[in-house]
Amino acid sequence: MQNTSDYLAKLTLAEIIEKLAGGDLAIRVTAYDGSTAGPADAPYGLELKNARGTSYLAQAPSDMGLARAYIAGDLELHGSHPGDPYGPLKALSDNLEFARPTPLLLAQIARSIGVEHFKPVAPPPQEALPRWRRYAEGLRHSKTRDAEAIHHHYDVSNRFYELVLGPSMTYTCACFPDADATLEEAQENKYRLVFEKLRLQEGDRLLDVGCGWGGMVRYAARRGVRVIGATLSRQQAEWAQKAIAEEGLSDLAEVRFSDYRDVPESGFDAISSIGLTEHIGVKNYPAYFTSLRDKLRTGGLLLNHTITRPDNQISGKAGQFIDRYVFPDGELTGSGRVITAIQDIGGMEVLHEENLRPHYAMTLRDWNRNLVANWDDAVAEVGIGTARVWGLYMAGSRLGFDRNVIQLHQVLGVKLDEKGGAGDLPLRPWWNA
């Protein structure tokens, strides 16, 4: 055991990073004071470039401090492109064990770097306010605050999303028919799967809540379905309406800049919710699914497609980086709690669920590839800091899906009649896998 004098010995910057990360790093660490740590022949490296980066690490001695320094350009990851830092993130996380530093270690760090690094430093401008300060925008998951959260994430730039997502403009998990399929083929296949699960036919009415840029809306309208899409992003709605008009689908399809709760129509044959539940809040599931149930006709089908946790015990709130830089107020829980919420509102029966976890890892891989291929244009569109956020977020999320930290579940339900009838549904699943 080290004694107090050992703890208070001055540390180099590389040693501080190594200690904060739990030691035995699989990457090479270098710092502007000339210090190094980790294996010299490591394929990936982490470079701390300046004093502001040290302040970020000192004030948030966790992955949040590393993220701030990286986004601000005060820390570099070597051995990969900033549009796809999957390799160094994987190498880092293989051994990374961030824990709250002990008081003695904090004292040793303060003595090593000086108290000036503990003076508050403004975070990168891409960072959202902490949860406690967002109350000025309304209570968590109020309409006003939900709109602001959606604005933070989705109103980055339609052009930026075109560069990252590709022609489909689909920002949800694809479904790959085989390992060699392209991203566009996989996104088309995902819409095909949702369409078939909902048993949609020409002349049916579909409501797509949280519709994004209208990919599902247009897919269904091309097949003669009458569709209303709703999104809280004005930029998404404008892009989608233009795409609908360009395809000559305006008689069948409409995307509204609207909260799903404000759609007055009901009696829909089917409802798709693809990537919205993450923004709803776990406590609001009963009200959410009740609202969707009430908009369905008897015998109508609901398809809920959402990111989930691998069990039902973990807290719903997102981690600091995701909450502050990606999805403010986002919440995840296990697929069991989603299914339970649908069952418990009454009048609904869950027919089927499946996990598309590997497909989301592949989807994120391809989004990272798009960002790398279009890096200069993306940086010109949104700035280097925002481009770094997206490269980091997507690569980190891919790791999460690879390692079963997060999953993606589709849950299919039907609205029952008063006697528990579900209409003329086939006895077995009627769609192609």
Per-residue pLDDT of the chain (433 residues; tens, 9 = 90+): 455 555 578 999 999 888 887 767 889 999 999 999 999 999 999 999 999 999 999 888 778 899 999 999 999 999 999 999 999 999 988 766 666 778 888 888 889 999 899 898 999 998 887 765 545 555 555 555 454 544 444 557 999 999 999 999 999 999 999 999 999 999 999 999 999 999 999 999 999 999 999 999 999 999 999 999 999 999 999 999 999 999 999 999 999 999 999 999 999 999 999 999 999 999 999 999 999 999 999 999 999 999 999 999 876 676 788 888 887 878 999 999 999 999 999 999 999 999 999 999 999 999 999 999 999 999 999 999 999 999 999 999 999 999 999 999 999 999 999 999 999 999 999 999 9
Which among 109, 104, 88 has a CA at the least distance from the CA of 15? 109
Q: How far apart are CA 64 and CA 56, in angstroms?
A: 8
Spatial contact of 413 and 350, defined as CB atoms under 8 Å apart: yes
Q: What is the pLDDT of residue 134?
A: 46
pTM: 0.91
Q: What are phi and psi of 91, to 5 degrees?
A: -65, -40
What are 272's strand-pairing partners?
Answer: 208, 303
- CATH 3.40.50.150 in the chain, residue ranges: 144-415
**Token reading at 56:** 């970020």
Contact 409/338 with Cβ under 8 angstroms? Answer: yes
Phi, psi of 270 (to 5 degrees): -160, 155
- The predicted pLDDT at position 380 comes to 96
Q: What is the CATH number of domain 144-415?
A: 3.40.50.150
Determine the Cα–Cα distance for residues 358 and 110; give it in Å rounded to an integer.
43
DSSP alpha helices (H): ranges in 261-383? 285-295, 320-321, 335-344, 357-373, 375-382
Query: 3-class SS at 85?
Result: coil
Residue with tokens 């909260």: 259
What's the token pair of residue 326? Answer: 């990606």
* Distant-in-sequence, close-in-space partners of 263: CB < 8 Å, separation ≥ 6: 207, 209, 228, 230, 256, 295
- Crossing angle of helices 158-165 and 234-246, in 10° steps, is 70
